[in-house]
Structure 1
Amino acid sequence: MTTQFWEKSREINATLTNLLFKPVQRRVLVGLTKLQVTSQQTAPWLLKKRLLPLLCLISFFLVLLLNSFAPAVAQLPPQPRQEIRGVWLSGNDFSVFRNRSQVQAAMSQLRKLNFNTVYPVVWNDGYTQYPSAIMQKKGIPFFFKGAEGQDVIADIITQARSQGLLAIPWFEFGFMVPLTSELASQHPDWLTQKGDGTQTSISAAGEVAWLNPFHPEVQQLIRELVMEVIAKYDADGVQFDDHMSLPVDFGYDKYTISLYTQETGNPPPSNPQAQAWIKWRADKMTAFMVDLYQTVKARKPNAIFSVAPNYYNFAYKMQLQDWLNWVRLGIVDELVMQVYRNDLESFIAQITRPEILETQQIIPTGIGIMAGLRNRPVAIPQIKSQVEAAQQRGLGIGFFYYESLWDIAPEPAAQRQSAFAALFPNSALRDISQNTSRKPTFNTVNLPLYPKPSLGQRVRGYFLEVAIANGQPKRILLDTGSAGLRVPKEFLGNSPIQRTGQNIKEVLSDGTILEGELVYTNVRFGLIPTAEPVPVQVVTSRQCTAQKPKCSANSGVPFSGIVGVNYFEKSLPYNPLRKLSGNLSNGFIVVGNGSSNSNGSLILGLTAENQAGFKMASWSQQPEINGVPGKRWDSRLNKVCLTLAGSSAKNLCNSRAIADTGTINGLTEFKSASTAGKLKPGVLGSANAVKVGINGIFDYSLTPGTRDGFNRWNLSISPQSELTIFVNPGIALFDKYDVLFDQVNGKQGFRSRREKK
């Protein structure tokens, strides 16, 4: 690979070129920092003494003035996180790093200048920069041996560590690959394309193709290469930049179209920037990054998972790279945002964006600064002004790239090195032993509820994507009327499972008996993991009760799993949402899909904002059960009023009711046949209009019909029932109301969907 191509490969994104190469404008930063008295002042001592009170008063008002007009960032607490002082070792630098003595000298010089991190490139142009057994199996050649035949990456990592520097291998090309590479030629089905069928885009690296980030074999290749580097070198971490992404115009290959159509029921829109299409692809990218993070941490828990993206608005909308979501999910250990600008005002505007202010409160955060290119050197005054602007805001630095620090620069090497020494006068060593796993930082998050499951032919329901034991996400029935996660064993992945040996039995309302072992394992809802393993019933047997021989177990339909999120647990397993991190565990809201085929949503985490407009009813608290965290609540509502045409129930307000997404059809259960009057058990007809509600809370009515999940209503008479009248409006209630479940205060809220609009 030629130097010219390497130079081209790391110029900034084409859309930012004009910003980068605008002429540098000289600016004077004016700051009121201290009251100065010049040497020309010759007032006698007495005059100075008389002026002293005035000077103190001026100083006092200056302090007030400075505090009043300080920028918001000045109010941020001191940063306890380790400061990033890094440099990328790019393909341009390999002429230097092929030589062992030069590697040693370079690492020594970086340490002397108080740098603390190097990012050597290990994946570029469809090739590894180290001898890879994985690529060797594919018959893909290896080019980057040292002058003495040595492994250059091994040499860099060894020498870096000897100087106390972190060495974090950098997967520069991510999913990007030249169309002419062996990898692309061997696996044309791995490539994605634009809507017009073209497979390449013009980027800073020239004309490139893109591996399909959603293809499982592509994901497996990246995963294997990352783990090979972690294992082979015991690397301090791994880094991915703006190419761990996909340009927004791509994703129209056969595999992705089929996957999107299967999951949504519609083909992808022709407009690549349609919001739902962007979000679907970005979420798929995020799901892969979550999996990759977990895979890395399973091998080396304190490894640094680093990302170096473009600014967020561009990264998300144009590259499908939702890195702010990655940070909030807790899967990023450090962030170095590339801000390659000549113009200081533009540079400062980028490093003070809200997402950077948020990120730097959570993890070590740095700014990628252009130190120069061979054909476009950057003068040290520009570098100095940008570093100082970042440092003033508590941000670290990453320089692109090593040779341009002082070897190819407009000033002599000694002058450049002296300038860097002044920028970093003190040592700031980093220690990965302090890099511990983080929890998500969301206050609330919105997850889609799909109208169809992964398995089975259920007529209607809300299905939530759940990944169990690091398995593939499966769409499982969301049931607000039961508690506990119950799934077939095929849904489990290969993560460790804590077995209890305890066989448990659950009887569903349709008469289905579920049997299987209680185990503990990690669970992920959409992209949100539980804070620790939760109890799961692994169902290995289904059968019907004698009273209901026509239950779902005899229907021939496979079991699609149940995630019961009620807080009225009778025993283990409990509601798994109790084990979400932070605010996400305090309750949830179910938003229906309004009888359409579109998705509903599950809003995790109650906030003042998302509770607006709900009218609340109270639950009654229940005794604690050993092993169930938090408070238990009887979520059956009291003082529910029922009117059922043709029965004796005429606005009876002594009924109890439950809001239950797990029940397809509405149900009224009477303890006494006399309350039913002339009505017989079974399906009600249109003459038997139903009204159910709580005064001032909700008022729901329905004319019984024949459509499952929409207007079918059943009547049963159960003398053995503990309740005189029990009402379950079924899933159709969620077409009319958003329903809130508050597990902290024991309340349930209802918000009319009409009022919401």
Structure 2
Amino acid sequence: MTTQFWEKSIGINATLTNLLLNPVRRCLLLCRSKLRKASDGVAASRQTSPFIHQGWWLLRKRLLPLLFLISFVAVLLLNSFAPAIAQLPPQPRQEIRGVWLSSNDFSVFRNRSKVQAAMSQLRQLNFNTVYPVVWNDGYTHYPSAIMQKMGIPFFFKGVDGQDVIADIISQAHSQGLLAIPWFEFGFMVPLSSELASQHPDWLTQMRDGTQTSTNAAAEVAWLNPFHPEVQKFITELVMEVITQYDADGIQFDDHTGLPVDFGYDKYTISLYTQETGNPPPPNPQAQAWIKWRADKITAFMVDLYQTVKSRKPNAIFSVAPDYYNFAYKLYLQDWLNWVRLGIVDELVMQVYRKDLESFITQITRPEILETQQIIPTGIGITAGLRNSPVALPQIQSQVQAAQQRGLGISFFYYESLWDIAPEPAAQRQSAFAALFPNPALRDISQNPPRKPTFDTISLPLYTKPSLGQRVRGYFLEMAIANGQPKRILLDTGSAGLRVPKEFLGNAPIRRTGQNIKEILSDGTILEGELVYTNIRFGLLPATEPVPVQVVTSRQCTAQKPNCSAKNGVPFSGIIGVNYFEKSLPYNPLRKLPGNLSNGFIVTGNGGNNNNGSLILGLTADNQAGFKMAPWNKQSKINDVPGNRWDSQVSKVCLTIAGSSAKNLCNGKMIADTGTINGLTEFKSASTAGKLKPGVLRSANAVKVAINGIFDYSLTPGTRDGFNRWNLSISPQSEVPTFVNTGIAFFDKYDVLFDQVNGRQGFRSRR
């Protein structure tokens, strides 16, 4: 009975909400700007009809108090009908009904009265979003301090000298429309522009040295999206718009990419060679070369998304690309991965087709079906061009096809809706009114920052670091504080991220002034300040800033004077991913989004030159075949999120040939990617028997096992990282027998780290 009552209560809640609260919500959304400005009469002065003016004030004076009273009563009723745990159904994704305001429309929007009339007309026809262009042809359509500082002229004032973009946004809001400024040309600029002339080093080129391509925008050059100064320039423009205007978001289209034939400039060639060890292939469509460039553009978009959200968390980060195969293969724009990474809040795919069958084929592609389950998704439809008008039947059939599939619409472009069209304006407007017979208002308050949609992801583990000459290791590519990606040693035996100062980029860093010290197993002492900053694993950003030790000093302990700090090898950084944190900094994988933070799997490379893998996010599928050993839970530490575990596994059996250590099953063991060689540490000399501290010989075969979980054996030799095994005697040891199997163990076993359930898994790779 209780369950039935709750289910009925939830149904009653939904019904009451629709009946009682929706009128208030609709009124507040439609009139949000009017409410802000009603006190000084601004809203009333912008109405085009005295009747509307008087009607609004009557509504405000007589009906709003009643509506607020109804909403108050509704809240009381909802609370009385259901317990606190009952929740209303989630709101459906907001439908896109938009139009691009292009450079072709500028003659219209330079005039304030025309802007006001246009926004009013769009609202009456139940549009809900406008996308005014703010960047194309190498110029901004708003007065930019950044461009002014560069000496680049500004041509786009209104007829009264007004800021056209500010006027469009203000008038759009007065009609309850969202205004999302549109960076139309992305990385594309005319070769003759002041920007290209001032910064020729910012341009990229084809393999034969050609700097331009030809498309619908005529002959154009391309800013190099891999160049840090270009990325900084675009980011500054975007943030200038987000900061300077009350914009509801920002949109990037198909030009926020690069034609596949480009990328053969000196900077990019050097960067690719540095990161891969080889120059770019001569074939621009080589898969690895495409992926490398596409991933670089994705990494930039991840950083740009985070920067926008840090300033305005609810801003809509919108993209308007071509269909995916075209966008990725020909323009290096991996927008489906952007959606999956959680950095896209809205997608409008451009489908400019005359043939309805071809149009439907594009809007029913798998990537669109996937995307529309996650975010508001629309289709870009051409309403006509000045030299190529589009008749109403084509527009109507395409809109209806999209609507039947639950997709929104955006038209390119405003003037072609009815001003330059084969049918009379009144007929066109009547047709658009029929396409959108009911309002569909949008509200950015329902647009919180998103999380990735995948439960697991695999990142490559490289065999060489960005710095240093380490013999063996697994290195994870990371970007710290928006710096260039660096390959950092993955260490399952320690916790916390520790990097040299030069690995940091120019993103904000919160300094603590706290100097910390870490002593590595080889006797190296790392010292440096603890700071908090953003990090990215490959393309995947952490959900918030994490603690990082910025290492500024390295030296050796007195007990181990020949540590790595003495040999002059540069410090390549360490990312410790152990869950046995003793203090700050903690394992940064704890700050991954969603399911990705629940644990990970290290898959080795078998001792060859192929990359291993770090699999983030444990699922039922990727845990198949693992045999589990438990960890012991430890007390929590302040500022360390999640559970803390002693990630040494117990009941380890050890046998060393030629010694009294034969099937001792009282040991503890750690699987450690950060240690090159295997190690046995005895608490007393008697346990070691005849063996002396030092490197074991081939006669001292080692066998390490946990009954029913794994059985590992090794013949000691002289190859670091493969078969060298050390023995030490330490009365200070916490346990009688301790085993660190070193990196060679990962040649034979995949190792799973489950931070939720406190266990470690082993799966044979043989």
CA distance in structure 2 between the aligned counterparts of 1:560 and 1:341, rounded to whole angstroms: 52
- Which residue does the alignment assign to 1:24? none
- Which residue does the alignment assign to 2:78? none
Residues 528-677 of structure 1 aligned to structure 2 (within 5 Å) = 528-677=540-689
Indicate the SS of the match to 1:536: strand
2:746 to 726, 730, 734: 734
Letter in 2 for 1:564: G
- Which residue does the alignment assign to 1:683? 695
- Which residue does the alignment assign to 1:694? 706
Structure 1 residues 265 and 703, CA gap change in structure 2 (3 angstroms): farther
1:140 to 152, 155, 162: 152
- Which residue does the alignment assign to 1:178? 190
Structure 1 residues 487 and 149, CA gap change in structure 2 (3 angstroms): same
- Which residue does the alignment assign to 1:475? 487
Structure 1 residues 518 and 177, CA gap change in structure 2 (3 angstroms): closer
Indicate the SS of the match to 1:325: helix
Is 2:316 aligned against 1:304? yes
CA distance in structure 2 between the aligned counterparts of 1:270 and 1:610, rounded to whole angstroms: 38
Letter in 1 for 2:127: F
- Which residue does the alignment assign to 2:397? 385
TM-score by length of 1: 0.84
- Which residue does the alignment assign to 2:135? 123
Shift of 1:149: 4.2
Letter in 1 for 2:736: T
Indicate the SS of the match to 1:419: helix
Letter in 2 for 1:375: N
Is 2:425 aligned against 1:413? yes
- Of 546-555 and 531-540, more deviation after overlay is shown by 531-540
Contact 1:79 1:394 in 2 (8 A): no
Structure 1 residues 268 and 643, CA gap change in structure 2 (3 angstroms): farther
Identical residues among aligned pairs (%): 88
CA distance in structure 2 between the aligned counterparts of 1:258 and 1:438, rounded to whole angstroms: 35
- Which residue does the alignment assign to 1:220? 232
Letter in 2 for 1:283: D
Shift of 1:421: 0.7
Indicate the SS of the match to 2:633: strand
Deviation string, structure 1 residues 55-74 (Cα, Å, up to 9, x no partner): xxxxxxxxxxxxxxxxxxxx
CA distance in structure 2 between the aligned counterparts of 1:147 and 1:624, rounded to whole angstroms: 65
CA distance in structure 2 between the aligned counterparts of 1:222 and 1:493, rounded to whole angstroms: 16
Contact 1:589 1:604 in 2 (8 A): yes
Deviation string, structure 1 residues 412-464 (Cα, Å, up to 9, x no partner): 11111001111112222323333322222220112222333333333322222
CA distance in structure 1 between the aligned counterparts of 2:405 and 2:465, rounded to whole angstroms: 48
CA distance in structure 2 between the aligned counterparts of 1:267 and 1:615, rounded to whole angstroms: 43
CA distance in structure 2 between the aligned counterparts of 1:628 and 1:221, rounded to whole angstroms: 37
Is 2:168 aligned against 1:160? no
Is 2:332 aligned against 1:330? no
Is 2:219 aligned against 1:207? yes
Shift of 1:712: 2.1
Letter in 2 for 1:659: A
Letter in 2 for 1:162: S
Deviation string, structure 1 residues 636-659 (Cα, Å, up to 9, x no partner): 223333333332334444432211
Deviation string, structure 1 residues 566-591 (Cα, Å, up to 9, x no partner): 12223333322122221101110112
2:409 to 391, 397, 413: 397
Unpaired runs of at least 5, structure 2 = 1-88
Indicate the SS of the match to 2:562: coil
Contact 1:79 1:361 in 2 (8 A): no
2:249 to 237, 240, 254: 237
Shift of 1:489: 4.5
- Which residue does the alignment assign to 1:256? 268
Indicate the SS of the match to 2:720: coil
Deviation string, structure 1 residues 681-717 (Cα, Å, up to 9, x no partner): 2123333333333344333333333332232221112
TM-score by length of 2: 0.83
- Of 393-402 and 481-490, more deviation after overlay is shown by 481-490
CA distance in structure 2 between the aligned counterparts of 1:199 and 1:498, rounded to whole angstroms: 41
Deviation string, structure 1 residues 378-405 (Cα, Å, up to 9, x no partner): 2212212222222233222110111111
- Which residue does the alignment assign to 2:11? none
Shift of 1:604: 0.6
Letter in 2 for 1:234: D
Indicate the SS of the match to 1:460: coil
- Of 351-360 and 663-672, more deviation after overlay is shown by 351-360
CA distance in structure 1 between the aligned counterparts of 2:513 and 2:197, rounded to whole angstroms: 51
Indicate the SS of the match to 2:743: coil
Letter in 2 for 1:100: R
Indicate the SS of the match to 2:409: strand
CA distance in structure 2 between the aligned counterparts of 1:220 and 1:534, rounded to whole angstroms: 23
Deviation string, structure 1 residues 127-166 (Cα, Å, up to 9, x no partner): 2223333223333333334344443333322332332222
Structure 1 residues 230 and 271, CA gap change in structure 2 (3 angstroms): same
Is 2:451 aligned against 1:450? no
Letter in 2 for 1:211: L
CA distance in structure 2 between the aligned counterparts of 1:728 and 1:164, rounded to whole angstroms: 64
Letter in 2 for 1:485: L
Is 2:205 aligned against 1:193? yes
Structure 1 residues 496 and 172, CA gap change in structure 2 (3 angstroms): closer
Deviation string, structure 1 residues 596-635 (Cα, Å, up to 9, x no partner): 3443221110112222333333333334444433333322
Letter in 2 for 1:182: E
CA distance in structure 1 between the aligned counterparts of 2:238 and 2:514, rounded to whole angstroms: 38
CA distance in structure 2 between the aligned counterparts of 1:293 and 1:172, rounded to whole angstroms: 17
- Which residue does the alignment assign to 1:722? 734
- Which residue does the alignment assign to 2:355? 343
Indicate the SS of the match to 1:272: coil
Indicate the SS of the match to 1:429: coil
Shift of 1:287: 1.1
Structure 1 residues 131 and 624, CA gap change in structure 2 (3 angstroms): closer
Deviation string, structure 1 residues 668-693 (Cα, Å, up to 9, x no partner): 22223234333322123333333333
- Which residue does the alignment assign to 2:477? 465
Contact 2:302 2:541 in 1 (8 A): no
Is 2:291 aligned against 1:285? no
Letter in 1 for 2:404: Q
- Of 570-579 and 737-746, more deviation after overlay is shown by 570-579
Is 2:114 aligned against 1:102? yes
- Of 440-449 and 488-497, more deviation after overlay is shown by 488-497
Structure 1 residues 539 and 185, CA gap change in structure 2 (3 angstroms): closer
Residues 311-326 of structure 1 aligned to structure 2 (within 5 Å) = 311-326=323-338
Structure 1 residues 339 and 252, CA gap change in structure 2 (3 angstroms): same
Indicate the SS of the match to 1:270: coil
Letter in 2 for 1:252: Y
Deviation string, structure 1 residues 224-267 (Cα, Å, up to 9, x no partner): 22122223333222110011001222212211111111112222
Indicate the SS of the match to 2:719: coil
Contact 1:285 1:321 in 2 (8 A): yes
Indicate the SS of the match to 1:282: helix
Structure 1 residues 533 and 301, CA gap change in structure 2 (3 angstroms): same
Indicate the SS of the match to 1:88: strand
CA distance in structure 2 between the aligned counterparts of 1:622 and 1:151, rounded to whole angstroms: 60
CA distance in structure 1 between the aligned counterparts of 2:748 and 2:283, rounded to whole angstroms: 32
CA distance in structure 2 between the aligned counterparts of 1:748 and 1:610, rounded to whole angstroms: 14
Deviation string, structure 1 residues 291-315 (Cα, Å, up to 9, x no partner): 1122222333332211101122322
CA distance in structure 1 between the aligned counterparts of 2:90 and 2:458, rounded to whole angstroms: 32
- Which residue does the alignment assign to 2:39? none
Shift of 1:285: 0.6
Contact 1:643 1:652 in 2 (8 A): yes
Letter in 2 for 1:378: V
- Of 110-119 and 566-575, more deviation after overlay is shown by 566-575
CA distance in structure 1 between the aligned counterparts of 2:176 and 2:123, rounded to whole angstroms: 7
